[in-house]
Amino acid sequence: MKVLVVGANGQVGRHLIPLVSESGEHTAIAMVRKEEQAASYAAQGIETVVADLEGTVEELAKAAKGCEAIVFTAGSGGQTGYDKTLLIDLDGAGKMIEAAEKVGIQRFLMVSALQAHNRENWSDSIRPYYAAKHYADKLLEASGLTYTIIRPGGLLNEPGTGKVLAAPNLTRGSIPREDVARTVLAALTEERTYNKAFDLISGEDSIAEALQKL
């Protein structure tokens, strides 16, 4: 499959792109916001497309055209305000879902946040962020797309272990970004993950086993 990675320059995205490219099964298209980010990927032989999540649905649809799956792992991050959370994490996701519908891309994977479905467990210090993720996830669930919503725990930069725990409801935990990226890759064509949302933290199962248990 040709897989559009939205947020290719983000920390999960940078793990995911080479994994997809080296999978042998899929081709990664790195969607980035700036030309210079594209140049860096292009130098590694990765196909790129420049598009801005603050742009129009039409621009995003043009960027996505020809792909067979979309992974949304973009976020405005902690350095900008909640204005950007509304425009990127919420509306950017909403527009990307509309773009997928527009060009007929059926498969859509969302990288969300642990317990985004469950207001009781939203961290008080970043509740507004969880609200944005919550509704982005709800939008995807209400779309006609074949979705998978992966809600990882606290993201770590340490190397992945390949051992995870995936379940509909895990109230706390953390996971290396590399293992999140590996799980996204494994979920792409794993039918057990279709139209499902799950929390993901480090655990004892191989990723393949963890997804089988969903």
- Interacting residues with a copy of itself (CB under 8 A): 56-57, 81-87, 90-91, 94-95, 119-120, 127-129, 131-132, 134-135, 138-139, 142
Work out how close the CB of 92 gets to a copy of itself at its nearest, in angstroms, rounded to a whole number: 9
User: Residue 54 or residue 190: which is nearer to a copy of itself going by CB?
Assistant: 54
User: Residue 197 or residue 201: which is nearer to a copy of itself going by CB?
Assistant: 197
* Whole-angstrom distance, CA of residue 8 vs CA of residue 48: 9
List beta partners, residue 150.
111, 198
For every residue of 131-199, DSSP letters joined together read HHHHHHHHHHHHSSSEEEEEEE-EEE-SPP-SEEEEES---S-EEEHHHHHHHHHHHTT-GGGTTEEEE
Work out how close the CB of 86 gets to a copy of itself at its nearest, in angstroms, rounded to a whole number: 4
> What phi and psi, each to the nearest 5 degrees, are found at residue 161?
-110, -15
User: Residue 24 or residue 83: which is nearer to a copy of itself going by CB?
Assistant: 83
Work out how close the CB of 136 gets to a copy of itself at its nearest, in angstroms, rounded to a whole number: 9
Instruction: Provide the annotated active-site residues.
Output: 129
* Whole-angstrom distance, CA of residue 159 vs CA of residue 157: 7
User: Residue 26 or residue 95: which is nearer to a copy of itself going by CB?
Assistant: 95
Scan for tokens 């994490």, then name that residue.
Answer: 89
Work out how close the CB of 97 gets to a copy of itself at its nearest, in angstroms, rounded to a whole number: 11
